[in-house]
Amino acid sequence: MDSAAAEDIFDQQETAAPRRRDELRALLALAVPVALSEIGWMTMTVVDVVMVGKLGPAAIGAVGLGNAIYYAPSLFGIGLLLGLDTLVAQAFGARKFDECHRALAQGIYLALACTPLLMLFIYAVQPLFSARGVDPVVRDYARSYITILNWGTFPLLAYGAFRRYLQGVGRVRPITFTLISANLINLAGNWIFIYGKLGMPALGVRGSALSTVFSRVYMAVVLVFFAWQNERRRGHPLFAHWPAPQWDRIRALLKLGLPAAAQVVLEVGAFGAATIMAARLDPVALATHEIVLNCAAYTYMVPLGISAAAAVAVGHAVGAGNKARARRAGWMAIALAAGFMSVAAATFLLLPRPVLEIYSHDGRILVLGAHILAIVAAFQIFDGAQGVATGALRGIGDTRFPMLANFVGYWAMGLPLGAWLCFGMHMGLAGLWIGLTLALITIAAVLALRWSSVGNKELAG
């Protein structure tokens, strides 16, 4: 190699390092606020569980069971809107700002169409609460909880659409503000409605559901304001130029959103199915399952936020025609998630009791919970990697493959194994979680290979 060639390579290395640092900073600028938003979202559920915790294991289990039944279909609606990540982010990267606005409008039309169907479906599946083996007290609490929670479905979908729009155009801090302030509203609402403060009747678990509905209405309204503000700043008021339904764009949104929605339902439904199986054990096992599930879901909120940031960063780069930057953004995001989840795994292994005591001081829950948290620690890195790989793939418009990976991982492998270990081998709750762990390891490996394949082919350049 001659000296000129060596100098040229050295110059490329010198410019590549600052470029990667700039891209990492840009990714973090997206990821940190979105991750905080996801933590805020999960904190609402944690607060609900903690606030009803004083009512006993049956109340904790009822909230968990009610959420397990409600969130699979409602998150299908949220999943339909995940296509906005791709459409808005790529349009923004290409500087097609009117296209971002049009995509948002079609998302709202989709939310309006889905809401009554989802509410009817959630109402229709309520007989699941009376399934044989479910504790009668848990069943009755869960039925009253979900009946009220169902009324928050449209605000939830509207929040989802406006959030995806704001993320896609790079305005993530308003989302963080909305979730933090909504948590304060939810905390106050739980205190008032669960225990009957400020002259209100004590509604128990129904009060927790009512507080959640009010919080969702607040979140939707606040994000509508921030979207209006964003459009007004560019001289294009949000509602003054609101597009009519455009079926070609709705079809494009559904083409991306249906597989993404199915993937969300497969994932959330898998943990919901595990919760229903745990309900067949006993109230202590169900309460422990719900608490551990909250712990696992809480740590997952950071990779989930990084996943959303990866979808936006990859989409922006693809829209701008910079495929090499898109590839780097995906791998950087996966590495960030793996690093955080390593810390989470260590926390679950080394400090299980302080974590569990956030929710309950019941000795039976603490003993069983420590054992299950050790299993959860084993899949933390894999959980983070699969979540972020899903987001990176969504940024390039690949939503079908993650759906298939989730189906095979959870429903063809993890859940059948978990059910057999739990009931067939009499391992109880530990058996369920071992099955879920196998599923997450499998899905993470498959999606990482998929992103590597995409990086070597479709995003080469």
Residue 12 within a domain: no
Backbone dihedral region for residue 255 (phi beyond 0: left; psi -120 to 50: alpha; all else: beta): alpha
Per-residue confidence in pLDDT tens, the chain, 461 aa? 443 443 343 344 444 555 778 888 888 888 888 888 778 777 787 788 788 877 877 887 788 778 778 877 888 898 899 889 888 888 888 888 888 888 999 999 999 999 999 999 988 887 765 566 667 777 788 888 888 999 999 999 999 999 999 988 888 889 889 988 999 999 999 899 988 888 888 888 889 999 999 999 999 999 999 999 888 887 777 777 788 888 988 999 999 889 988 998 888 889 888 988 998 888 889 889 989 998 998 899 899 889 988 998 998 888 888 888 889 899 999 999 999 999 999 999 999 999 999 888 889 999 999 999 999 999 999 999 999 999 999 999 899 999 999 999 999 999 999 999 999 999 999 999 999 999 999 999 999 999 988 765 666 55
Q: What is the DSSP letter of 243?
A: P
Token digits for 454?
Answer: 């995409």
Nearest by Cα to 362 from 54, 49, 45: 54
pLDDT at 4: 43
Count of domains in the chain? Answer: 1
Please give the backbone phi and psi of residue 253, each rounded to the nearest 5 degrees, phi first: -65, -40
Residue 5 within a domain: no
Residue 371 within a domain: yes
Please give the backbone phi and psi of residue 131, each rounded to the nearest 5 degrees, phi first: -60, 145
pLDDT at 369: 93
Q: 407, exposed or middle or buried, with CB in 10 Å at 0-12, 13-18, 19+? A: middle
Secondary structure (3-state) at 285 = helix
pLDDT at 418: 95
Residue 19 within a domain: no
Nearest by Cα to 65 from 262, 213, 287, 261: 287
pLDDT at 401: 95
Residue 152 within a domain: yes
String of DSSP letters for 295-334? HHHHHHHHHHHHHHHHHHHHHHHHHTT-HHHHHHHHHHHH
Residue 15 within a domain: no
Q: What is the number of alpha carbons within 13 Å of residue 82 lying toward its C-beta?
A: 33
Overall pTM surpassing 0.85 (yes/no): no
HEC secondary structure over 394-448:
HHCCCCHHHHHHHHHHHHHHHHHHHHHHHHHCCCCHHHHHHHHHHHHHHHHHHHH
Residue 74 within a domain: yes
Other CB atoms within 10 Å distance of the CB of residue 86: 31
- Under 8 Å between Cβ of 136 and 53: no
| Domain that includes residue 59, residue range | 24-456
Secondary structure (3-state) at 115 = helix
Residue 6 within a domain: no
